[in-house]
Amino acid sequence: MLIEKRELLDQAGISRALKRIAHEIVERNAAVGEVVLVGIRTAGVPLAERLAAFIADAGEVEAKVGAIDITLYRDDVFEGLPKPEVGTTTLPGNAAAGKTIILVDDVLYTGRTIRAALDALMDFGRPRAVQLAVLVDRGHRELPIQPDYVGLKVETTRQQSVKVILDGRDRAVLREKP
Amino acid sequence: MKHLLGIEGLSVAEITKILDLADTFAEINTRPIKKVPTLRGKTVINLFLEASTRTRTSFEIAAKRLSADAVNISGSTSSTTKGETLLDTAKNLQAMAPDVIVLRHSSSGAPHFIAKHVDAAVINAGDGTHEHPTQALLDAATIRKHKGKVAGLTVAIVGDIAHSRVARSDILALTKLGAHVRVAGPRTMLPVGIEEMGATVFERVEPAVEGADVVMMLRIQLERLGGAGLFPNTREYSRYFGLGPRLAATLKPDAIVMHPGPINRGVELDPAVADGARSVILDQVAYGVAVRMALLYLCGGGASSAAAEA
């Protein structure tokens, strides 16, 4: 069992971080006029929805929301037990071709999830551009993948884990073995 | 789940899991690129020692959409025509290290037999008059899609119940999921003891389909009758047990009509009904691919799925 070591972000902190990311997205994509925020199941989906609301508040950029399930694209699908649950993928118009896609996830760690998400996305067509937004970047990349928008960058060890909890009392916590 | 040999060994939770997974895989079949890399490097052998178009094609497409390599062997081109036994065929195929063997065979129990002798996962694609589990699962998925549920529905299965593995698997699956199943057919085609499977028996078709939510018509399995005269002729069968426009007009307004195929048009099913608004026959075929993708995903996991069994 993992125990909570310290709180990285509280409710206000998460909200501030998402607002800042929303502004950065608007700044960088204002000329495009339209982006699709695609949350990676499961934790990325509510974050994508919140980012879309902040972007809508700022005006200028129209943000649609989608969700992507990466289970069938994982490189370890037959290594873990039991077999992973497969979720649904929903993209606006069921297509990625020609769009600016912003992948949204809660924690960026090895980068393998993002690799799988990129592969899944490409099966929906050739996007105009893909960017990556994460709430927490905890380091330890195993693939050459870097985020475009980061809420919080934090030093961790491999034995620790970072958990983002969005249950009304939102927080991001660093956990480790006792 | 290592093998899928029949509906008989499945729990309600397992059936529901397969149906839920099939709904998810159905979405992949609507994409512009209808392929995911999940089973890359896995080999699926479709060993069909009995005639089939739908099921074999469906399994082949399902395997390919999951990126597995599919190899098809049919009865007429296999060494069984040279006198090789099923066990020898299975052992030789096993030597080529496939991950899944999909077997259709005219003998009941053939998949159970080879499952004991190979390391690959075995999926039953129809064994004699015993079971056709993937057909029952795709039927349940189609019913659930159109009716929103299976529990509490009344399903009438009409035709040659005795020789139909589809009927047996459907009765098992649908009663497990809480449907009321009625069966109707000529007395010579109703097996003794079918009530013990949980079905209500009717000797006439009219009361069997009255008030039913789903009417499933079956083909007369002439290839299994062995020349025995179980009914006088197809014209008379059609008149007493076929579903034509007149009988269809007595169905519940929202009743759906199903058929596992191949249809003998004008015998058990009138073309006006087969192609009519109630017919969901082609939806069944579409769902077949998604259901078989779900099963290949669950069974095709190589070492780890075998470990899960142990």
Which of A74, A78, A90 would best serve as a mutation to test chain B binding (most B beta carbons within 10 A)? A78
Name the band, by pLDDT with cuts 50, 70 and 90, for residue A81: low
What is the C-alpha to C-alpha distance for residues B50 and B75, in angstroms, rounded to an integer? 6
Query: Taking an 8 Å Cβ-Cβ cutoff, which residues of chain B contact chain A?
Result: 21, 24-25, 27-28, 30-33, 35-38, 66, 297-298, 301-305, 307-308
Name the band, by pLDDT with cuts 50, 70 and 90, for residue B304: very low
A127 min Cα distance to partner chain B (Å): 14
A111 min Cα distance to partner chain B (Å): 18
The per-residue pLDDT for B226 is 60
Put simply, whether A86 touches B (Cβ < 8 Å) is: yes
- Collect all residues of chain A within an 8 Å Cβ-Cβ radius of residue B301: 77-78, 83
Single-letter code of the amino acid located at B2: K
Which of B28, B31, B299 would best serve as a mutation to test chain A binding (most A beta carbons within 10 A)? B31
- Collect all residues of chain B within an 8 Å Cβ-Cβ radius of residue A81: 304, 307-308
Put simply, whether A159 touches B (Cβ < 8 Å) is: no
Q: Which two tokens stand for residue A9?
A: 């972000």
Name the band, by pLDDT with cuts 50, 70 and 90, for residue A33: confident
Q: Which residues contact B196 (CB under 8 A, 6 or more apart)?
A: none
B63 min Cα distance to partner chain A (Å): 13
What's the mean per-residue pLDDT of chain B?
92
Q: What share of chain B has pLDDT > 90, as a percent? A: 81
Chain A / chain B CB contacts < 8 angstroms: 54
Put simply, whether A84 touches B (Cβ < 8 Å) is: no
Q: CA of B66: how far to CAs of A88, B41, B137, B296, in Å?
A: 16, 10, 19, 8
Q: Measured between CB atoms, which of A83, A86, A119 is closest to B301? A: A83
- Collect all residues of chain B within an 8 Å Cβ-Cβ radius of residue A98: none
DSSP structural state of residue B134 = H
A72 min Cα distance to partner chain B (Å): 5
B11 min Cα distance to partner chain A (Å): 17
Does the pLDDT at position A2 exceed 90? no
* Contact yes or no for B290/B59 (Cβ under 8 A): no
For residue B184, the cross-strand partners are B158, B202
CA-based nearest residue to B293, from B70, B25, B45, B104: B25
The per-residue pLDDT for B309 is 41
- Collect all residues of chain A within an 8 Å Cβ-Cβ radius of residue B305: 78, 83
B259-281 tens-digit pLDDT: 999 999 999 999 999 999 999 99
Does the pLDDT at position B140 exceed 70? yes
Helix ranges (DSSP H) in chain B: 12-28, 54-65, 86-95, 110-115, 133-147, 165-176, 205-209, 222-225, 234-241, 245-248, 271-274, 281-299, 303-309
Name the band, by pLDDT with cuts 50, 70 and 90, for residue A31: confident
In chain A, the residue whose alpha carbon lies closest to the alpha carbon of B293 is A72
Q: Which of A69-83, A134-148, B73-87, B113-127 has the lowest mean pLDDT?
A: A69-83
Does the pLDDT at position B308 exceed 60? no
Complex ipTM value: 0.76
Q: Do A83 and B37 touch (CB under 8 A)?
A: no
Does the pLDDT at position B36 exceed 60? yes
What is the C-alpha to C-alpha distance for residues A83 and A87, in angstroms, rounded to an integer? 13
**CA-derived radius of gyration, chain B:** 19
Q: Which residues contact B116 (CB under 8 A, 6 or more apart)?
A: none
Q: Which of A164-173, B44-53, B76-85 has the lowest mean pLDDT?
A: B76-85
- Collect all residues of chain A within an 8 Å Cβ-Cβ radius of residue B298: 83
- Collect all residues of chain B within an 8 Å Cβ-Cβ radius of residue A123: 31-33, 35-36
DSSP structural state of residue B120 = S
* Contact yes or no for B139/B165 (Cβ under 8 A): no
The per-residue pLDDT for B303 is 45
What is the C-alpha to C-alpha distance for residues B120 and B2, in angstroms, rounded to an integer? 9
Which of A86, A91, A94, A112 would best serve as a mutation to test chain B binding (most B beta carbons within 10 A)? A86
- Which one is predicted more confidently, B223 or B220? B220
Single-letter code of the amino acid located at A130: V
For residue B218, the cross-strand partners are none
Q: Do A78 and B24 touch (CB under 8 A)?
A: no
Q: SS3 of B232, please? A: coil
- Collect all residues of chain A within an 8 Å Cβ-Cβ radius of residue B36: 72-73, 120, 123
Q: Do A123 and B304 touch (CB under 8 A)?
A: no
A114-167 tens-digit pLDDT: 999 999 999 898 999 999 999 999 999 999 999 999 999 999 999 999 999 999
Q: Which of B22-31, B103-112, B118-127, B285-294 has the lowest mean pLDDT?
A: B22-31
What is the C-alpha to C-alpha distance for residues B242 and B155, in angstroms, rounded to an integer? 16
Q: Do B36 and A73 touch (CB under 8 A)?
A: yes
B27 min Cα distance to partner chain A (Å): 8
Helix ranges (DSSP H) in chain A: 11-29, 44-58, 112-122
The per-residue pLDDT for B227 is 55
